Amino acid sequence: MLINQVTVSVIALLSLKLLVERLLNFANIHHNLLRRNEIPYGFESFVDLPTYQKSIDYTLTKTNFSSLCAIWSFVFDGFVILSGLMPCLVSASAKFFGTQTIGQVASFFLINFLFSLLGIPFSWWRQFRLEDFFGFNRSTQAIFWTDKAKEYLLCFIFGFPIFYVIAWFFQSFPRSWWVWAWAIFFVFQVTMIIIYPVFILPLFNKLTPLPDGELKKRLLNLTQLTQFPISEIFTMDGSKRSAHSNAFFIGLGKFRHIVLYDTLIEQMNTEEIAAVLSHEIGHCKQQHIRTNLIVEGVGSFIGFGILYYLSSSSWFLESFGFQTEYPLVPLILIFSIVISSVTFWINPFFNYLSRKHEYQADHFAADVLGQTESLISSLRKLHTKNLSNLTPHPAFSAFHYSHPTLFEREIALRNSTPNHNHSDA
Ligand SMILES: [Zn+2]
């Protein structure tokens, strides 16, 4: 057993996170159960009691499931830290792969792969039990396991060379490696944003250009009106895996894509889809992707700075039972366990920023459309069809929700006065 000041402090941090998560879950469950027998004021016109109650049951089931996952990962992380399992694994794989840079990188991938396998039963259960019970699962065993294989393969294809280059810098430039590592990581993130819609997404889903017709005409008209040149709008066969509906905007510059789920097109009329598209264009026009990239860049710079500090402090790895001759792999393995107990506390900040973006995109859409009705009706459909939680506890939503609640968005929209300048209506 590795019990010392450092391991005990890390366990204390993980326990504190688990405790607060449990309290937030408890508050959210209680908050929703209190409201279960009556549709909240303002929602009576578009949701019936059985659907509303089903959305609460879905929320409660998901909350309980996430508690179970959190407890499991706490027990597992605690065991890994205190038992000395990690140093054993690292030295066993070093014997097998060797201690050259390539051997260290291979060790890292093997250990990460083994640990990630433990998460698969949870994602299987979520898809084929939880989502299935509420009628959302459309996936099959074949799709699920093929997806997993593709994910692992992509992780290896992209991750291995990048981690190899970082490891090379680590050995060649002991003082400045972390700045290089950060720069490589940042360039990789930007590259992924660009290549994701073109190369990665099509490996999992079929993207089809929206067929000619009334909907396409209306949407292209909207892109002209907002001076948002885009060559194609795609529909995606989201229904292959799930009945959940969504729309998103990905890519940068001329590589940007607007993707509408086929499930969204089934559920909404032309004007509602136009409202969803205006909201997505709003995200782009207001440079939200760029802002997020800058915030993440600053965050990862701080992260690599901390890694550098820990790599030059031998007491840190020694406390976890590692020899410090080849510190990079153990450092990243331990860091990836500890970091979640730190980032958890800054989640409300990221969610605050994301909500601000959502309000801005909503206002942009209202300005473009010259009215708020179609956006409100599309949001109502998105929330009811996806059984979204209409009444989350405020503290729970601060930590876990990147979007404002439906109620908050409606109030903000009703208080805004659409600017009719852009409108063709
Ligand atoms: Zn949005």
pLDDT in tens, 138-191: 999 999 999 999 999 999 999 999 999 999 999 999 999 999 999 999 999 999
Percent of the chain with pLDDT over 90: 80
Position 229 scores a pLDDT of 78
* Tokens linked to 210: 């929206």
362 is catalytic: yes
Between the CA of 383 and the centroid of ligand 1 the distance, in Å, is 13
User: How far apart are the CA of 343 and the centre of ligand 1, in A?
Assistant: 23
| 278 C-alpha to ligand 1 centroid (Å) | 10
Per the structure block, which two tokens stand in for 72?
A: 């499991």
Query: Residue 362: which residues within 8 A CB-CB, separation 6 or more?
Result: 279, 282, 375, 409, 412, 413, 416
Residues 52/45, Cβ–Cβ less than 8 Å: no
- Give me the pLDDT at residue 323, please: 81
Over range 35-64, report the average pLDDT: 92
* Model pTM score: 0.90
What's the CA gap between 106 and 277, in Å, rounded?
Answer: 44
The pLDDT confidence band at residue 423, using thresholds 50, 70 and 90, is very low
Kindly give the distance from the C-alpha atom of residue 358 to the centroid of ligand 1, in angstroms, as a whole number.
5
User: Domain spanning 207-285 has what CATH number?
Assistant: 3.30.2010.10
**Active-site residue (options: 131, 362, 367, 410):** 362
Residues in the chain: 425
pLDDT higher than 60, residue 421? no
Task: Scan for tokens 């109620």, then name that residue.
Answer: 407
| Residue pLDDT, tens place only, 236-245 | 999 999 999 8
Cβ-count burial of 54 within 10 angstroms (0-12 exposed, 13-18 middle, 19+ buried)? middle
pLDDT of res. 356: 96
Q: Catalytic one among 280, 358, 367, 410?
A: 280
Helix (H, G, I), strand (E, B) or coil at 51: helix
pLDDT bin (cut points 50, 70, 90) of residue 250 is confident
Q: What is the pLDDT of residue 419?
A: 63
Q: 209: closest CA among 229, 188, 235, 230?
A: 235
Q: Ligand 1 centre from 248 Cα, in Å?
A: 8
Q: Considering only CA atoms, which of 275, 295, 288 is closest in space to residue 413? A: 275
User: What is the 342 CA–ligand 1 centroid distance (Å)?
Assistant: 26
Domain ranges in the chain are: 207-285
CA of 356 to the centre of ligand 1 (A): 10
Residues with CB under 5 A from ligand 1 (ion): 358, 361
What's the mean pLDDT in 393-399? Answer: 94
